Amino acid sequence: MSFAEIRNYPDNIIVQTERGCAVFDESGREYEGISKSGRWRCQDILLEIKKQDDRCMVYVTAQVTKINRIWFEWNYELQGEYRILGDAWERAYGDLEWRGIVPERVMPWYVMVHDVEEKRTHGYGVETGANAMCFWKLDGHRIVLCMDVRNGAMGVDLQGRRLHAATIVSREGRSGETAFEAAKEFCKSMCAAPRLPKTAVYGSNNWYYAYGNSSADDIRKDAELLCELAPDSENRPFLVIDDGWQMTHGCCCTGGPWNKGNYKFSDMQKLAEDLKEKKLRPGLWVRPLRTYEYFSEECILHGKMTAEGRCLDPSHPEVLTYTENMFRGIKEWGYELIKHDFSTFDIFGRWGFEMGEEMTGPDWHFYDTSKTTAEIILQFYRAIRRGAGEEVLILGCNTISHLAAGIFEIQRTGDDTSGREWERTRKMGVNTLAFRMSQNGTFYAADADCAGIMGRIDWSLNRQWIDLLSVSGTPMFLSIDPGCVTAEQCEYIKNAFQTYLKVNREAVPENWMNTTCPDKWNTCCGTRNYRFSSLPGAGE
């Protein structure tokens, strides 16, 4: 594969609209562009590509036509043996891996291409913060990039506005660098201004032992235990209160309002103060786009009411103001970390593993039809940032990775681990830690999720996951049931926290090109070899 080809203008460009397809090439009857200048015109659509070094900035304008997607194709002949790695739309689901060429494989945001013979790894992607949902596809004869600029499931109505859809980035692999080093450097090139925590982030989250069945008194018991386990350091641990505190809590992960707790959490501000008195940093979970509160119909996405509440439309100004005020209120209670969840599912109606090329169901659009879905999500994330201010850490869970970068400090990069089932922790936790480690420190702090300690998982297995987290150089959260943890386990966790604060570089998965669950890691504490697999039923 000739690396330089991706820096040239595409061999073919197709713009899908609500009326059909516009083909931008010299053979197209409606083609009026001048490709050498990077401008293509078809009917009222103008597409521009501005080249600058290793980047190509893509702009599109249309007066009347509603645009769905822009497809770019570069032709080439792929000879030899290659391994391919893509990213995920939001969280990964234990499904990231180096593979051979799979033509139908959808690879969101970027793709790494490893030449086995030359031992060089090239990168092709788009900059973070794009105004389009972008994915790549690859076969033996071409590389394809799709920029999805739809508004929900409908074409965006630009009304003559010039949209900077995305900036294409590429990086040629260097001789002598590993595939991991290449991926790390490429992630740096895609995100010019990551927003990162000022210190290492660690502590506890009560979800993976309480699963929403909790109270303020339970949180105070968690705090007592965490104080016993925490190192004597100025960098104090976080205690994150997950789902179960909200006024409407009755089943898993219900919606707001978020301005007060339920009868088990009568005073959320006082609870934050109590945690701070113990020199812990309080954190809180919310589901910002779900609520039982009354909103006008135009503020409700899809016009639906479910058991979890109404889903709010993040394109509506009233919803953005509500979001900003919600996060500001939690900050004023005294919480120093806010974990927000479910917004991608609430918007699209699908989990990341269900999306593929079609991220959502048909026949719906946002209140504001003049912006792309990506633009609307970005303005929603920025409203969260404004409300939380500059000092509160934001942890995005079920959020769009490439859009969260530069806005949130921490990103949950994989689906839930478990306090009940080891196999889920192995599949989700280890996979995302390995395959999105290149995003740690380059996009945000990459959180691979918790170790759940509630007496259901064999300690010999959980201990390995805790050890890997402690030397990973990524956020380290544990869910610890005070009534189930043993003295031996407490001593181990205490030492693991101490190790964590001494780590000076991130761990590198040594055998990640041959497995979805790397068990050999190069760490600042030496090489670690793990045995993550188990017999059926272990830890259940």
Question: What pLDDT digit, counting tens, does each position of 334-347 carry?
Answer: 999 999 999 999 99
Q: How would residue 305 be classed by pLDDT, with cut points 50, 70 and 90?
A: low
pLDDT of residue 93 exceeding 80, the answer is yes
Q: Residue 350: is its pLDDT beyond 50?
A: yes
Q: What is the DSSP letter of 517?
A: S
Adjacent-strand bridge partners of 528: 521
Residues 6+ apart with CB under 8 A from 487: none
- Please state, in angstroms and as integers, the Cα–Cα distance from residue 137 to each residue in 13, 54, 104, 170, following that order: 15, 20, 7, 15
Strands (DSSP E) found in 149-206: 163-171, 202-205
CA 194 to chain centre: 13
Whether 418 has a pLDDT exceeding 50, the answer reads: yes
Average pLDDT in the 314-338 region?
98
310: Cα within 13 Å, side-chain hemisphere: 17
Task: Give the pLDDT of residue 29.
Answer: 37
For residue 313, pLDDT beyond 60: yes
Q: Cα(99)–Cα(85) distance, rounded to whole angstroms?
A: 7
Q: Which residue has the tokens 């397809």?
A: 21
Sign of CA dihedral 60, 66, 68, 72: negative
Give residue 539's pLDDT: 47
Please state the rounded mean pLDDT for residues 531-536. 78
Q: Which of 40-44, 398-402, 420-424, 456-460 shows the lowest mean pLDDT across its residues?
A: 40-44
3-state secondary structure of 164: strand
Global pTM?
0.95
**Does residue 122 surpass a pLDDT of 90?**
yes
SS3 487: helix
What is the residue whose two structure tokens read 């109404």? 310
**Contact in structure between 378 and 131 (CB atoms under 8 Å):** yes
| Closest CA relative to residue 416, chosen from 86, 85, 90, 87 | 90
Give dist(CA 130, CA 426) in Å, integer: 32
- CA 459, CA 461: separation in Å to the nearest integer? 5
pLDDT value of position 272: 98
Q: What is the pLDDT of residue 304?
A: 66
Q: Give the mean model confidence (pLDDT) for residues 491-505.
A: 96
Longest distance between any two alpha carbons in the chain, whole Å: 77
Six token digits for residue 490: 């407490």
For residue 208, the model assigns a pLDDT of 97
Summarised one tens digit per residue, pLDDT across range 23-52 is 775 443 344 444 557 888 888 999 999 988
Does position 501 have pLDDT exceeding 90, yes or no?
yes
Q: Residues 6 or more apart from 218 whose CB is under 8 A from it? A: 206, 210
At a CB cut-off of 8 Å and minimum separation 6, what does 344 contact?
A: 89, 90, 352, 398, 399, 400
Is residue 177 exposed (0-12), middle (13-18) or buried (19+ Cβ within 10 Å)? middle
Contact 410, 436 (CB under 8 A): no
Mean pLDDT computed over every residue of the chain: 93
Distance CA 400, CA 378 (A): 9
Query: Residue 30: its pLDDT value, please?
Result: 41
Q: Find the DSSP H helices in 303-369.
A: 317-333, 343-348
Region 470-489 average pLDDT: 97
pLDDT at residue 308, as a whole number: 75
Q: How does pLDDT run across 506-523, given as a tens digit for each residue?
A: 999 999 999 999 999 999
Q: Is 236 a residue whose pLDDT tops 90? A: yes
Range of lowest pLDDT (68-72, 248-252, 276-280, 481-485): 248-252
Q: What is the pLDDT of residues 154-175, one digit of tens each?
A: 999 999 999 999 999 999 999 9
What value does the mean pLDDT take over residues 394-407?
98
Residue 147 CB contacts under 8 Å (≥ 6 apart), including other chains: 58, 69, 70, 71, 72, 126, 130, 132, 133, 134, 165, 166
Percent of residues, the chain, with pLDDT higher than 70:
95
From 62, 61, 47, 65, select the one nearest 10 (Cα to Cα): 47
Distance CA 16, CA 148 (A): 9
Mean pLDDT of all residues in 132-141: 94
CB 69 within 8 A of CB 145: no
The DSSP string of 256-308 is B--SSB-TTSS-HHHHHHHHHHTT-EEEEEE-TTEESS---GGGEEEEEEETT
Tokens 């235990």 belong to which residue? 225
- Of 292, 228, 315, 132, give the one whose Cα is nearest residue 489: 228
The confidence score (pLDDT) of residue 77 equals 80
